[in-house]
A and B are shown apart, each in its own frame.
Chain A
Amino acid sequence: MNTGSPRFFSDLAKTVLVGNRTYTIWMLALIAVSMLGLNAFSRQLAHGLYTTGMGDEVSWGLYISNFAFLVGMAAAAVMMVIPAYVFKDEEIHKVVIFTELWAVAALIMCLLFVTADIGRPDRLWHMFPVIGVFNWPMSMLTWDVLVLNGYLFLNLYVCGYVLYKKYTGQKLVARHYVPIVFLAIAWAPLIHTITAFLFQGLGARPFWHSGLIAPRFLASAFSAGPAFIILVFKIMEHFKCCTIHEKVIAKIRVIVTVSLLVNLLLFGSELFTELYSGSEHSIHLSFLLGFHGESVLAPWIWSAVVLNIIAAIILLLPVRENPRFLNVACVMIVVGIWVEKGLGFVISGFIPTPLGDFVQYQPSLNELTVCFGIFAFGLLIYTALLKIAVPIINGQLCHRKNHN
């Protein structure tokens, strides 16, 4: 048993490195896009954030948009963990680790997007406790650093523990990991709430300065995250990695539906408050929707609203049982929420500026390449983690078998 650890890592490495043709092509493609992203990021480091489409007016762009979106995707894993551990749903319990691994991959992408966004990554150590200066508790950004890294650590621990024990064929000891799971359950909404607070605490930006932002963030995340997980499960089934029980998909679908409806309700409430009152603050929203001069964002946000509404209708009609319709609805939700949160929320907070200047934002090609690179790298990590986790959970990859 105690020789498990060195074999464990070499077995994992072998499992990740060897696969069939589809797997190899997929991984090579992801590596290639990640490399393009690394190349673009190097260019950005060399010539500054001037290589992006950002400026003093719209000073946060796609990086922070993707960050906000992915924090939600990471937090959304909790919607699978709660039924598995709190309500003891056995079918979901079997596959819950795949969603926890997704949280790990999503968080890594979050941290990369933040790193890509800052002007001086060489000075990141200024934030480290003891050797740097950490403006805690005043700055919400320091809170975000704590909760994101904490959540990453909790998920890594739980996933690592479960996979290692299964690999070595040992029994899982509940008190060694279940308390951490429950801590992670409490922690998950926190990461997205604090990310929302980062924005909604700013009185300077009326568009963000609303108590509804954190609930909206959570609702949209709990819709887009599980929708993405449904798609992942479908893809895993398609490639015959494992079979996901239909009941699991049906339950996740309910979570997606309810969250989506809550999100639409909150969005509608915000829309009403801003537009009916017609106060000066509503200018961000009316500009976003295209009611106030030409807006690059308007077609995007309208598509997002339409995608979310159509998805909601599909999920409420009996056609939801049809896997094709369900897949389409899930794609619509992921795309719709990405647009709503990224372009619709982060970027429109900057238009107009606090001095009333309307400046449009268009990401540069270099900036887009960095984004694609980070997404590719995140998917690379997630695929590798699944490649390891599936055979271990299936009992195909284990310590004992290697010595047979």
Chain B
Amino acid sequence: MSTEDQKNLGLKNEDQQEPVISRRYFLAGTACLSVATAVSLSPLLNAEEVPSGDDFIQKHYKELSDEEKKEIFARLEARIDKQYGVSTSISDPQPMDGVEFAYVLNLGRCIGCRKCVYACMKENNQSRSPQKQYIRVLKMKKGTINLETSSHDYPEKEASSEDFFYMPVSCQQCREPKCIEVCPVKATWKEKDGIVVVDYNWCIGCRYCEAACPYHARRFNFAKPQLPAEELNPDMGYLSNRPRYMGVMEKCTFCLHKTRRGEYPACMEVCPTGARKFGNIRDPESEVRKIIEQERVFVLKQEVGTLPKFYYTFAK
């Protein structure tokens, strides 16, 4: 830049070589700034959830030894006992060999009563305030499967209408889950039995998986989950229904704490019409396998290439 271009940027005096700053002025400024910072940070004193030191340094689920898991489970049980006054035992059932779970839902039978929605919420210890639901029932106009014209929040009395059919949608437990690809820290993955799980202690809460899911199946704890002690389900799995943290993702796990013991998921148990079927798709004798082979089934949004293990059918 030529010399006539030389002009200063707010220096007190154009010829001043070295800007002068008095010690008192500097100290006063530093003090003011420190006080302002402290005041700005003060809401942290009312933080609803503060991770403990152990929480902070906890490793990824897959890197934990059996010893470490034991310690962590005991710590969680003690915390739940303290917070809810309920004694629990946190289980960690592993996938069974030769088992891959699948679901079939008969839209011809579903009446849209939403019993599954609430049974799921109770079983899985979801937050009641704000309410988190894994299953969403769409009230669909007959003659189309257009999701955009479906109604999501129809009042209860509009269930079992002859003019509509009802389509419950929850996690489709995809064979090619997009949600796990996008996770920057591998906090969500597909287990050997095909169930997609989340490590609630590893998730950083970026919600990329929520954006990547074509089925709107994931739920994020924007607030600290609130769950009355009397509604707590004490039968807990580490990767499924233990109480969740603020700021982490969660989703349907096919009730793995039940299904890996040979029980049915809560949504299926409660269904009054028998629209829901669940089982091991690798077992040729299983009910789901027979339906998939004998009935005409379809999957939701086949075009996105996720290969769901959640099948729909319009049977009698």
Contact = CB atoms under 8 A, between A and B. Distances in A.
A140 interface: yes
Contacts of A57: 216
Contact of A204 (B1, B146, B183, B214): B214
B42 interface: yes
Given A48-B48, A402-B18, A127 B184 contact: yes
A396 interface: yes
A46 B47 contact: yes
Contact of A123 (B26, B130, B202): B202
A246 interface: no
A83 interface: no
Interface string B2-17: 0011111111100001
Contact of B222 (A48, A138, A142): A48
Interface residues of A, number: 82
Contacts of A55: 222
Interface stretch (B32-40, B68-76, B103-111, B307-315): B32-40
B1 A94 contact: yes
A404 B17 contact: yes
A133 interface: yes
Given A117-B206, A387-B10, A391-B11, A50 B305 contact: no
Nearest to A202: B212
B8 A394 contact: yes
Contacts of A39: 39-43
B206 A119 contact: yes
Given A59-B220, A133-B186, A241-B9, A122 B37 contact: no
A354 B214 contact: yes
A48 B246 contact: yes
Contacts, number: 245
B221 interface: yes
A156 interface: no
A241 B56 contact: no
Contacts of A56: 210, 216, 218-220, 222
Interface in B13-57: 17-21, 26, 29, 33, 36-37, 39-49, 51, 56
Interface string B212-242: 1111101111111000000000000000000
B247 A49 contact: yes
Interface string A274-314: 00000010010000000000000000000000000000000
A134 interface: yes
Contact of A45 (B44, B146, B182): B44
Contacts of A31: 33, 36
A72 B202 CA distance: 31
A386 B10 contact: no
Nearest to B44: A42
A240 B218 CA distance: 55
Contacts of A401: 17
A39 B181 CA distance: 35
The interface centre, meaning the residue of B42, B206, B301 with most chain A CB atoms within 10 A of its CB, is B206
A170 interface: no
Interface in A343-390: 349-350, 352-357, 386-387, 390
Nearest to B2: A243
B185 A119 contact: no
Contact of A386 (B9, B186, B202, B205): B9
A38 B9 contact: no
A255 to B, nearest CB: 22
Interface stretch (B79-87, B89-97, B147-155, B254-262): B147-155
A324 interface: no
A194 B182 CA distance: 13
B42 A42 contact: yes
B128 interface: no
Interface string B241-257: 00001111000000000
A173 interface: no
Interface of B: 1, 4-12, 17-21, 26, 29, 33, 36-37, 39-49, 51, 56, 60, 130, 136, 138, 146-150, 152, 169, 178, 181-187, 202-208, 210-216, 218-224, 245-248, 301, 304-305
Given A39-B39, A49-B220, 14 more contacts: A14-B21, A19-B9, A31-B33, A48-B49, A48-B247, A119-B222, A120-B204, A120-B245, A204-B211, A354-B213, A355-B152, A356-B138, A356-B147, A386-B9
21 contacts: A18-B19, A20-B11, A31-B36, A39-B40, A119-B220, A123-B204, A127-B184, A133-B60, A133-B187, A139-B182, A145-B184, A236-B9, A241-B7, A241-B9, A241-B10, A243-B5, A243-B7, A355-B136, A355-B150, A395-B1, A396-B6
